[in-house]
Structures are given as C-alpha cells and as structure tokens.
Structure 1
Amino acid sequence: MKKTISDTWLVNGNIMIFCGPHTDSFKKDILASSLLAELVAEQKNSQRAISWTTYTDTVIKTGWVVNSRATQHLEFENINLLNVVEQSAESALPQNERQALAIALAQLVNLPSDSPAIRTIVEKLQKNATVNNTTDTPVSTTVLLTIIRNDKTVVTLQVAFETVHGIAIDILDQPVLSAGNDRQANSWLLCSLLDERQYNLIRGDVLKKVGRNIQTRLLQIPAPTDMD
C-alpha cells in the first residue's frame, strides 16, 4: 500500500490532520484560522451543537469557501471513532485520507499516558461533555476533526456520541461509542476550500486576534520514526 503522507496537530484539543505534501505557509493559515474559530466558538457557547454554527461562520469569514455542508442523525452502537467518521463523511473522505486518519488515531492512542497530547485531548472531551462522568451513566460528548485532503479540500466533521466507559483516550480507537436516543443531530459536516487570496488580506488580523494562543493552543504530534 502506498505510504500516506500526513501531519497531525491538536488545535485547542481538536484533531487536525494534513494529508499530502502541503506547504508550511498553507498549514499555518489553516491552523491559525481554525484556532481563531475554535476560540470564538468556545467563548460564545460551550454546547457543541450551538458552537458548531459559530465555528463554521468564523472560518467562512476568514476565507474558507463552502463546497458542501450537511447535518444528520446517525444510528450506531458500540463502534469506534473511525467507523463513525466513515459513516458521517462518506464520499468526502477518499481512501488515502481514511488511511491517514486511522494512522493518526493509532499514533495518538499509542502516546505515553502522561503526554501533553493525551491530556489535552481528554480535557477537551471532558469540556465538551454534557452529562457527568459517573459510573454506569452514559457520558455524552463531541469530537471535532479536521482533515485537509491532498487537493486542499478541508473536511471538518463534528460528531456527538455517548459512552458508558467514561472519557478516556480509548474513545479514539475502541468500540465504545453509541448514538444517543434523543433523535437529534449528531453529525455535522463542512467541506470547504481556503481562498488564499482573500486570506492574504486578513492574515495579520487573524494572527493578532489569536495572539499568544498560537504558541499555547497548537500542538504538533511528532510522526513515529518507525512508521512505514
């Protein structure tokens, strides 16, 4: 199988994966605009169903041009996050990007349990939770994933789910996720492209707004040296 080039980041605790050989300047623009949107959404409302609208509205203002978007309720039980993403994104994620996502999730769960990345992801999932994390009580939370395809299409996906296993890093790879019973939307998808000419005009404003968060809220995950 052809090796998939990927670069994994955490943006305020959310997972972002660049698939393919993108330039550093392009990555920096996507990271900064996504971070700004996440900070604005987090400040406006902690409920992810509501903050999703704030997040997408903000990235659109920074030059992300919408190709398509969808909201739906998915039915699933005792499956892992990769399966949920594949069900949610469907044709928006070609095989190479699905492979990159699988590699990135495996890479994350194999980090030392006391690593900053693990702590950041778990804290984000806890912050997104809407039910107390108590024994035998389903915990409802959401995860936001952004996958930049080889053709520069930005696939942003938010999924909500329940788990009775508590919030831990195994949410990323174990079959512990189930859909809630409220029949409300649990999958939000945005496919977009960054208008780089438009972003050139506002790059300075974006960087000024994110300020020192660019150093403290972005975390690159080192690629394993032994990965084929």
Structure 2
Amino acid sequence: MKKTTFDTWLVNGNITIFCGSHADEFKKDILSSSLLGELVASQKSANPEVNWPIYTETVQKIGWMVNSRGNQRLDFDNRNLLTLVGQCAGSDLPKDEQQALADAWAELTKLQPDSPAITAIIDKLQRSATVSESSNISAVSTGAMLTIIRNDKTVVTLQVTFETTHCLDSDLLDQPVLNAIGNDRTNSWQLSSLLDGRHYNQVRADVLKKLGRNIETKLLHITAASG
C-alpha cells in the first residue's frame, strides 16, 4: 500500500485532515470557507443537530458543490472517536487514506493534554455538551465534526454525536469511553462535496472580510509532537 501524506488543522476546534499533496491556496480556501460555515453555525446554536444543516447550507452558498449526503443511526458502546469516524466514513475512504487518517490521529494523541490543539478540541466538545437525558447515571452528550480532504480534492465532512460518563478530555480521542445516546435519533451525518473554484474566486474576498482576525485565532496548524 502506498504511503499517503497528511496535513492536520483545527478549524475552531474541528479536526480537518488533508490527505495527499494539495496546493497551499486550495488549503487556504477550504480552511477559510469551512471556518465561516463553522462560525455561522456556532452563532446560531451549540446543538450539533441544529448547527449541522446551518453549516452545510453556508458552505454550499460559497462554493461547496454537494456530491452526496446522508445520515444514519449508529448503535455503539465503548468506542473512541477515531473508530466512530471510521464507522461514519465507511467506504468513502480507500485504505491509504484510512491509514493517513490513523497516522494523523496518532500525532494528535501524542500531544500534551494541555497543548493548544487538545485544548481547542476539548473546548469545542464542551461548548456543545449537555447532560444526557437517556441515562440513569451522570453522562454528558456532545458531538464532533471532522473534515477529510481526499487526494482527489473531495471534501468528506462527518459529524457524530455521542455520550460519555468520562470527563471531556483527550482520552476521547483514543480510549473506548463513548456510547450512543439512547434516544434512537440520528447520530451520524455525512457530506461529500467539491469546492467550485470559479464560484469561490468570486466570494473569496468577502469570506476573508467576514472572517477578519478569526483567520489568525480560530485556525490552528498541527505539527508533530517531538519525541
């Protein structure tokens, strides 16, 4: 199996992974448009079920062309976030890109719990957190969104909601502490899209103007932990 490179970013606490080689300008466009969608959605609601359609509608308006979309109910117990992402992605990712995702995740788990990246991820989970109504024990429900940009520039966006009796910390990335919320509702959403460069060229300046300093404060590049 060929080795696929990866480049990892956080967009307001959401993990974004570029698989393979992409032009810097393309990366900037994806990150900026995704950030605008995230900020618009977050301003409307912290509830993942509410802000998912707001996010997807926003990025479509500025040039993300939808290839496919879907949602489903996943039943799971004692999972970590990586295995949930893999379950959501299903067959959308070939094996080399699945390995790139796993490699990127391994780098994240090497970071110190108090690092800026881990802090941003956990802060995002906490902003969406509510006390679960489905459990007789103390549990918190929240949701995570992940974006994977494939070698062919397809943008795969995934969101999954879950509950845990574990505290919201870095263990959620790779420890089996996540369970399905017991309300029988949809808990997984997927969007596959492509950035229409011609459309985005027309709105790029407006997007950047709306983002302002959020470009510097809400985008974080992840570099490999030393050692």
How far 1:215 sits from its partner (Å)? 0.4
Aligned to 2:153: 152
Aligned to 2:89: 89
In the TM superposition, what are the counterparts of 1:1-228 in structure 2 within 5 Å?
Answer: 1-131=1-131, 137-223=138-224
How far 1:99 sits from its partner (Å)? 1.2
Q: For structure 1, which segment, 79-88 or 58-67, has the greater mean C-alpha deviation from structure 2 after superposition?
A: 79-88
- RMSD (CA atoms): 1.4
How far 1:113 sits from its partner (Å)? 2.1
Q: Which runs of 4+ in 1 moved over 4 A?
A: none
- In the alignment, is the contact (CA less than 8 A) between 2:113 and 2:169 conserved in 1? no
CA distance in 2, matches of 1:112, 1:223: 11
CA distance in 1, matches of 2:19, 2:6: 4
How far 1:224 sits from its partner (Å)? 5.0
5+ residue gaps in structure 2?
A: none
CA distance in 2, matches of 1:137, 1:74: 22
- In the alignment, is the contact (CA less than 8 A) between 1:97 and 1:147 conserved in 2? no
- Output the amino acid matched with 2:205: G
- In the alignment, is the contact (CA less than 8 A) between 1:7 and 1:223 conserved in 2? no
How far 1:4 sits from its partner (Å)? 2.0
SS in structure 2 at match of 1:67: strand
| TM-score, normalised relative to structure 2 | 0.94
Q: Calculate percent identity across the aligned residue pairs.
A: 61
Q: For structure 1, which segment, 22-31 or 173-182, has the greater mean C-alpha deviation from structure 2 after superposition?
A: 173-182
CA distance in 1, matches of 2:20, 2:225: 17
Q: For structure 1, which segment, 202-211 or 87-96, has the greater mean C-alpha deviation from structure 2 after superposition?
A: 87-96
- Output the amino acid matched with 1:181: G
CA distance in 2, matches of 1:111, 1:172: 11
CA distance in 1, matches of 2:86, 2:56: 21
Q: For structure 1, which segment, 205-214 or 217-226, has the greater mean C-alpha deviation from structure 2 after superposition?
A: 217-226
Residue by residue, what CA displacement relative to the aligned partner does 1:152-200 show, whole Å, maximum 9, x if unpaired? 0000000001111121111111111111110001001000000011100
CA distance in 2, matches of 1:193, 1:140: 31
SS in structure 2 at match of 1:168: coil
- In the alignment, is the contact (CA less than 8 A) between 1:140 and 1:162 conserved in 2? yes
- Output the amino acid matched with 1:124: K
CA distance in 2, matches of 1:7, 1:225: 16
5+ residue gaps in structure 1?
A: none
How far 1:125 sits from its partner (Å)? 0.7
CA distance in 1, matches of 2:188, 2:76: 12
SS in structure 2 at match of 1:160: strand
SS in structure 2 at match of 1:192: strand
- Output the amino acid matched with 1:203: R
How far 1:225 sits from its partner (Å)? 7.0
